[in-house]
Amino acid sequence: MTRFTLDRRRFLGLALAAGTALAARARTPGAGGVSLDEATLDQMAEGMKSGRWTAEGLAKHYLARIRTLDRASLHAVLEINPEALDIARALDRERGAKGPRGPLHGVPVLLKDNIDTGDRMQTTAGSLALVGARPPVDAPIVARLRAAGAVILGKTNLSEWANLRSSHSISGWSGRGGLTRNPYVLDRNCSGSSSGSGAAVAANLCAAAVGTETDGSIVSPATSCGIVGLKPTVGLMSRAGIIPLSHTQDTAGPMTRKVRDAAILLGAMAGPDSRDPATAGCKAHPDYTVFLDPDGLKGARLGVARAFFSGNRGVIALMEATLKALSAQGAVLVDPVDVPTADYEKAELEAMLYEFKAGLNAYLAGRGVTTPIHDMASLIEFNERMKDKEMPLFGQEYLYDAQAKGPLTDPAYLKALETCRTLSRQGIDAVMDKHRLDAIIAPTGTPAWVTDLVNGDNYGTSCATPAAVAGYPHLTVPAGFVMGLPVGLSFFGRAWSEPVLLKLGYAFEQATKARRAPKYLATLG
């Protein structure tokens, strides 16, 4: 396990050496000697159908890339599934005897390390406090992926405890996994908290990955790592068996290189679950690829949320070019529209701290007696006892704040929750009603910042909060580059509007084809 110190010069030196090595290793032959770089799920399915590839061959290919590319310096993957190759071989035999289960049959998928798997892997949220304690069963979304034929290849690193530990945290860092680096420029941050999932997909360490989001934790690493990220409507898929942060905002979601791949993964995971009451009104579709249309922008009314255009001149120039591309595809731009966030940002954190304590305590109780910590209080005590390993770079003030909160019946919590729900949902719904919009668009965020081991994160402008607090869907698609760093375009809108967002995002992707594979540069200069 790599440990990082506060020595900035040493950090840059390691990045330079790793960048040279990674650039030399980036293109590796795939299964059967054919390159799998940037391969889509459809291409993998066709390759396995034709006999060019096998599930076992795909798994071996990605495992080899993880051993070389990832372990050299990216540190996106925390743990490999020791049963992955056995599962892949069994799926190959099943394909030969019965045919494929669907488009995910034999496809290697990585999971964020806060998603339970009832196998020989651990689920730790990146914390040393949960090392050695394995969950008893799969999270429902994992069971769905396995039923669809996916090969669960391993677990990805993340911002520890989904980045709600310290106000000075470093995204992509965990006590268990160290720091995940951005494959485009190694001294840049991946953002978080689904840092490892974003980096792994960008670096072609898997066919696809699953992340989780509370506020920006899928879409922010997706834009920083130049991939597609979809945060679904809260309740579209089960959150049971996922280490919680906020039961009103948490959701898992797909992270892929292409929009169609995200639609395939979403269809496999979406659906109701008796363990998660939020899914009671779930409006899931078994196949989201039917909504994809290369002409999907024609006549679409898109609200341009100028408040999220950052002061970065490169981002502004890229977005102006993006707006022209959208118009050229027939979109009707309503420019500008106002989606306010300032009225509920403080209330969001207040509600989140209450929910984090209640949710984590309940989750840990369900993990059983083998778990070394059993509540927020014992987690805090563990971190203090292991502070040389758990807190060498930043503290745990958010854990103290959460521990000080009372039950979910507290008037302060109820008031904060009502403020969040009412203002965020009214903000999105009102502007969409007023302008008859199909979606709201904005740059997902600013380019990836230089990782700062002293001062912590520097997120810059992001449009993640409105949809996150409302529990509404949010899709980001690669839009281009600023100084060699990727920037995504966001589409967000009403609850259950995933079909609309996927249609729009797919049409934009097909028209622009903006994604480029990373080059593993050490630094920009």
Closest CA to 421 of 463, 462, 465, 471: 471
Could you give the CA distance from residue 178 to residue 197 in angstroms, rounded to a whole number?
Answer: 15
Selected catalytic residue, list 73, 127, 171, 193: 193
Concerning whether 112 is annotated as a catalytic residue, the answer is yes
Selected catalytic residue, list 112, 231, 357, 503: 112
The 3-class secondary structure across 411-464, one letter per residue, is HHHHHHHHHHHHHHHHHHHHHHHHHCCCEEEEECECCCCECCCCCCCCCCCECC
Site of tokens 């096998």 = 54
Closest CA to 500 of 252, 308, 233: 233
Could you give the CA distance from residue 222 to residue 366 in angstroms, rounded to a whole number?
Answer: 31
Could you give the CA distance from residue 427 to residue 392 in angstroms, rounded to a whole number?
Answer: 40
Selected catalytic residue, list 169, 171, 217, 246: 217
CB atoms within 10 A of CB 465: 21
Concerning whether 60 is annotated as a catalytic residue, the answer is no
CA 275 to chain centre: 23
Could you give the CA distance from residue 389 to residue 380 in angstroms, rounded to a whole number?
Answer: 14
* Both structure tokens of 252: 């898992």
Q: What is the CA radius of gyration of the chain?
A: 21
CB-based contact 235:278 (threshold 8 Å): yes
For 404-417, letters b (16+ CB in 10 Å) and e give ebeeeeeeebeebb
Q: What is the DSSP letter of 161?
A: G
Concerning whether 174 is annotated as a catalytic residue, the answer is no
Point out the residues that are catalytic: 112, 193, 217
